[in-house]
Structure 1
Amino acid sequence: MRLPLIAPADLTAEQKPLYDDMRAGISANFNAFKVEREDGALMGPWNPWLHEPAIGKAIWELTKAMTANASLNDNVRQIAILVVGARYDAAYEIYAHIAVAERDGMTAERLATITADLKPGDLAPDESIAFDIAYSLSRGGTLAEPLYALGLRTFGQHGLNELIYLVGLYAMVSTTLNGFNVPVPERE
């Protein structure tokens, strides 16, 4: 880990309101995995964002907006997030979103296949399209027109927009995690 965790007692005046907002949002939406140390210091991507609170606040606001305005079903979202995490080999992202997907009933076989950067054979049609879109976008370049059109027919414009933004957000999260070598906590 390249940035030390910040204990709540050591937060600056600029960091404290962001920490409080993050902690409230985490407890409501990101509670399937370990996100804080015993003393309340935030782990995962939240710690690097706290180190740069002006930038971290903007990223956190985007994260909250993507969560609050989610219209895609949870499996579609988790598949897209895990595809991105696998592409970037972002250990904490994979750890966290496996925990979320397991809580939601996704099988170990499916999770193993996705995190091996492969497409599972048991995906529902909307899950398969989400996988293909996330897989394509996370490799760079323009999303192919047939795949975009298929996404549009499947999810509608709002849903496809959400999926594209979700891939971008989690590419940024993965880059943050990898850039700062954020470790994975032990699973309980």
Structure 2
Amino acid sequence: MQIGYGWSFHTRDNDPVCDRAALDAMGAERCFVVSNPSGRSAILEQAMGFLRPHDSFLVRSVERLGASICDVMNVAKALADTGASLRILDLPPGSESVSGDVLVEVARCLTRALETPTSVNASHDAAPVEDQAAPTGPRGRPMAIAAEHHVNVRCLVQEQGLSIRQVARRFGVSAATIYRILARP
């Protein structure tokens, strides 16, 4: 039997999403359609519970299977465990897969989806890119000697007259590190 799972609602951007016609065109004999974004997981569970071995699970795109890669992989594993095949409209016809091959098909779709970002994500409110804070700490490799010890390094070289190599050995660092500390204001 061909079991369809899709969405039919308006997204956060007020774009309509309706998979019913696509599922019918794929040959779905029974459809489970989400009409409210908050009910996606419950309807997906119902559809997955309806599957039997040798059934085909039809979806319009891989994003319908979950909000994260982990979610999608869990659905793919459940399909493989059930013995049902997966057909995704985004894939060329005849790309039906059974058992462990489901994971390969999902991986192909995920690769394609990651290459071309989609705007449909109705259940999770992600912060806009400009609102996300940029990293504020120093970039690159951390200092070999903590900043609070820089005063001690200067004191040993400038006041006590130790050589750069002696101070470097004392702190267990290279001479270049000591030169860099001394060059800083």
Specify if TM > 0.5: no
Q: Which protein has the larger Cα radius of gyration, Structure 1 or Structure 2?
A: 2
* Structure with a larger share of its residues in strand: 2
Q: TM-score, normalised by structure 1?
A: 0.30
Q: TM-score, normalised by structure 2?
A: 0.30
